[in-house]
Structure 1
Amino acid sequence: MPRSNHKARTFLGRLPLPERTFVADALRTETVGGMVLLAAAAIALVWANTPLSSAYESVRNFRFGIEALGLHLSVAHWTSDGLLTIFFFVAGAELKRELVIGELRHPGTALLPVVAAASGMLVPALVYGLVATSLGGTWNGWAVPMATDIAFALGVLAVISTHLPSALRAFLLTLAVVDDLGAIIVIAVFYTSTIYLPALIGAVLGLALFFHLHDRRQVHGWYWYLPLALVIWGLTHASGVHATVAGVAMGLLLRVAKDGESGRRPAERIAHLVRPVSAGVAVPLFALFAAGVSISGDTWGEVAGNPEPLGVALGLAVGKLLGVAGGSYLAVRFTRARLSADLVWADVVAVAMLAGIGFTVSLLIGELAYPDPAQLEPIKAGVLLGSLTSAIVACLLLRLRNNTYRRMYEAETADQNADGTPDIYQQGNAEQGPVPERAERSEAGGGGDDPPHSTGDEPRR
């Protein structure tokens, strides 16, 4: 049998310069948003555990909106169904870009992170089920520990000031993007009880019009799309499907091919503009009104003593570690890939531990799985405990290797000739060879409102 004509694939090798620049731009905003998210979660916990807790409940349960349209909702409901739609819109745009021009474009490149992400969703669900059912509980919350909160994880990295290499940050971002897609599929399939068909048909027609204007006619101007997006969102909400599905659907419909006139990719540009709203406003406000859990000895006792909350906590803290690290190892082992020479498996374990920070999407799914507030509060406490445990252990593991990460970071960013392209990308290496062309914008020189542009073969859309 003839041997394959291409060399062994490298897992977590150095990113191509355009991809590294894009990832750095995306994660820079998410890191700032993560700091805001941490602050919002802390405020919620303090507010809910002081004499002002009654005011917190009053604000969270305050209802407003247009009752005739079925939109007379509580503040908590507006933040989960409304603001998180923006978060899922950005996730959809990022996924579309990754599938068309990013690291997920080629099956061989996509296989390893997708296997790791899929395993990182399946194993936490199984851990939850084994723990909950063995202690007399139910499978109701199996989907709660499946997701990774990229903003919260990056906020933690910022707090401990680690210099995590770009390949590991990109891996974490890919895990989160695939997790978000898995979460929205779970929400659409398992948490949709009744369907109002006329509203659903209207939402689909609205999406078709969105696609026609954006992709076929290439109509520009936010004033066309914002009213249309609100109509699509309202119809999706009225249909019985969770309204956040509308966000990821619109994100996936964005065009990735470069505009002829400007040379910009609409999916990148729009995600670049909307991401600060998502990371800095939408997600923190959701956290503010979702993370307010009463913290006491009784609360932690309820987590340890009840099967479902304990299953959620262990699903995040243990299931994510086993799923992501185990899935990564098996994928590398059976595809005969090799881990980057600059990294060791302890680095993958640390990132897998960091992926156990579920928070935002876990809280959202928890609210859908447990509509009864009496059942929901222990589940939220389980999410907080599992995420906090994952964050602390990940911090300890990452700090042990931080000197190595710092050296890698300095090598990645060194630009002694100040030409805007890191020196390491001009030298080439054994794994990737020299870069054939300069990125259109380097991480150090990126500014203004436009995101960096990718290179490579042009996709159809």
Structure 2
Amino acid sequence: MSQPQPPTPKPRTVLGLGSYSESLRIGEILRKETVGGMVLIFGAVVALIWANSPAADSYFALRDFHIGFEIAGIDLNLSLGHWAADGLLAVFFFLVGLELKKEFVAGDLRDFKRAVVPVAAAFGGVLVPALIFVAMNASTGGETLRGWAIPTATDIAFAVAVLAVIGSNLPSPLRIFLLTLAVVDDLIAIVIIAFVFTDDLRPPYLLMAIVPIALYAFLTHRWPKFFASKRWAPWLILLPLGAVSWALVFGSGVHATIAGVVLGFCVPVLRKDEPEKPGLAEKFEHRFRPLSSGFCVPVFAFFAAGVAIGGASGIASAFGDTVLWGIVFGLLFGKPIGIMSATWLVTRSVHANLDPDVRWGDLLGVTFLAGIGFTVSLLVSELSFGLESPHYDHAKVAVLLASLLAAILGSLWLRPRDRRYRLIAERNAVDKNHDGIPDVFQ
């Protein structure tokens, strides 16, 4: 008699709904980023118009206006554009640090099975654009190859702003996938900035920065309730420590925005007494995200996006530069190819299927939006070439052009699918037992 065969194991599902609390948290973040993305786009458009108007000289005079001082051997007499890139973006990277720590401690990144797909996708979305850029600039070599990291970033605020207009009913798994991918993408960008764009390292300042950072970590872990309940306390106690940490990291030669990431990682995520309630990291995120998305990032975009096209000759010069094409092809095609390939390889290697509500065509539309580089790409452009290089202006044109084309391509792809997404959203919102939690999450 033949032996009964063991049942074939069912393939596991990736990009599923996850928990209801995680879905709510992601939804709230995306709503805030939508507003910030709109303001960011407005700031960039104003800068572009001003920089190419008869009053262009006043824009560049404002961007290059210096203000500041020197203290303890650290030259803080910087241009307004420099203050925006190194100072205001530190607030943005502080929130990135908070979000990263929350994902690792209490989010999807703590579970390897859930994290493996977006993490692999993020690495694919960084590797392939970089390879495309290098391939297109290998023959010129030299300075042009310094821009390899420009097309590796994803701007979540800009992408979500587009998503809000054309795909408000996008299934929750895809929204979570896009945000998680962008968070990991930011982590990779942080590592690149810290290790690739650190010049003239001055270790004494880096060692001195440990003192205020350690004190910051001690205070936030020792008295989290105090800083959560007293709105003035972070501004009067923690902000000075953060400013000193930022200045010392700046003086060390490491890009100053890294200080924001490190301080974000210092904030506790969970409450020891009541783990189910929001911790200090979530409180800080609620308070400071409007400042970052509504002011800091748009002001940076205003100073970074202004590029004088220079008429027909300027356009011809930009489009004749392989740097421009490496960035455009990297963001527009490298991102989708890298993300889709990595996701497909992971699902095949672990014998998994996509969630039934998620199709490969839906995922492709999201990868088009991931090609919107903008904020971090503009920052890396400056770090790669410097303000005086013509490649810098060409890189900015490329980032703006690629981001616009990626937004259009994603819109054209996802918009016709929104009716199906709306039906899925209505089905997933059903709560027959009226307990406040949709039945699909139970």
TM-score scaled to structure 2, two decimals? Answer: 0.91
Which of 294, 318, 324 is the equivalent residue of 1:280? 294
Residue of structure 1 equivalent to 2:242:
229
Match of 1:250 among 258, 263, 280: 263
| Offset at residue 304 of structure 1 (A) | 2.8
Map of 1:428 onto structure 2: none
Give yes or no for the alignment of 1:170 onto 2:176: yes
Q: Which amino acid aligns with 1:227?
A: P
Contact persistence 1:299–1:381 (CA under 8 A): no
Post-superposition CA distance 1:263-303 (Å, at most 9, x none): 43111111121111111111100000100122344444334
1:94 counterpart = 2:99:
yes
Cα distance in structure 2, aligned partners of 1:301 and 1:216: 59
Deviations for 1:402-454, whole angstroms, at most 9, x for unmatched residues? 111111222233457765323433xxxxxxxx2xxxxxxxxxxxxxxxxxxxx
Separation in 1, partners of 2:22, 2:177: 12
Equivalent of 2:438 in 411, 422, 430: 422
Q: Percent identity?
A: 45
Structure 1 unaligned regions, length at least 5: 426-433, 435-461
Structure 1 residue 380 corresponds to structure 2 residue 396: yes
- Answer with 350-359 or 409-418: which moved more: 409-418
Q: Corresponding residue for 1:141?
A: 147
Matching of residues 330-349 of structure 1 within 5 Å: 330-349=345-364
Give the aligned residue type for 1:169: R
Structure 1 residues 197-206 or 158-167, which shifts more?
158-167
CA distance in 1, matches of 2:420, 2:316: 40
Aligned 1:112-261 pairs, distance under 5 A: 112-134=117-139, 138-160=144-166, 162-216=168-222, 218=224, 220=227, 221-222=233-234, 223-260=236-273
* Residue 77 of structure 1: aligned partner: 82
**Does residue 30 of structure 2 align to residue 27 of structure 1?**
yes
CA separation in 1, counterparts of 2:219 and 2:89?
24
Change in Cα spacing, 1:225 to 1:8, as seen in structure 2 (3 Å) is farther
Listed one character per residue, the Cα deviations across residues 128-164 of structure 1 (whole Å, up to 9, x for unaligned) are: 1011114666421000011100000011122335421
Partners of 1:385 and 1:190 in 2: how far apart?
25
Equivalent in the alignment of 1:105: 110
CA deviations on 1:88-126 (whole Å, 9 max, x unpaired) are: 111111110111111010112111110001111111100
The equivalent residue for 2:230 is none
Q: Please state whether the residue corresponding to 1:139 is helix, strand or coil.
A: helix
> Is the Cα–Cα contact under 8 Å of residues 162 and 398 in structure 1 kept in the other structure?
no
TM-superposed deviation, 1:73: 0.7
CA contact (8 A) 1:90 1:275 kept: yes
Measured in 2, the distance between the counterparts of 1:4 and 1:228 equals: 60
Distance 2:241 2:6 in 1: 54
- C-alpha distance in 2, partners of 1:264/1:158? 26
Q: Say whether the 8 Å CA contact 1:10–1:338 is kept in structure 2.
A: yes
CA contact (8 A) 1:14 1:167 kept: yes
1:174 maps to a residue whose letter is: T
Query: Per the alignment, in what secondary structure is the counterpart of residue 401 of structure 1?
Result: helix
Please give the alpha-carbon distance, in whole angstroms, between the structure 1 residues aligned to 2:306 and 2:423: 40
Contact kept, 8 Å, 1:93 with 1:251, in 2: the verdict is yes
1:136 and 1:307 in contact (8 A); partners too = no
Question: C-alpha separation between the residues in 2 aligned to 1:62 and 1:254?
Answer: 35
Question: What residue number does 1:448 align with?
Answer: none
The DSSP-based 3-state class of the residue aligned with 2:146 is coil
Decide whether aligned partners of structure 1 residues 16 and 384 sit closer, same or farther in structure 2, where only a CA change above 3 A counts: same
Q: How many residues align?
A: 425
Match of 1:12, as an amino acid?
Answer: L
Cα distance in structure 2, aligned partners of 1:136 and 1:210: 44
Q: What does the per-residue CA deviation read over 1:243-271, in whole Å, with 9 as the maximum and x for residues that have no partner?
A: 00000111112111115379431111111
Compute the displacement of 1:208 (Å): 1.4
Q: Give yes or no for the alignment of 1:266 onto 2:280.
A: yes
TM-score w.r.t. the length of structure 1 is 0.88
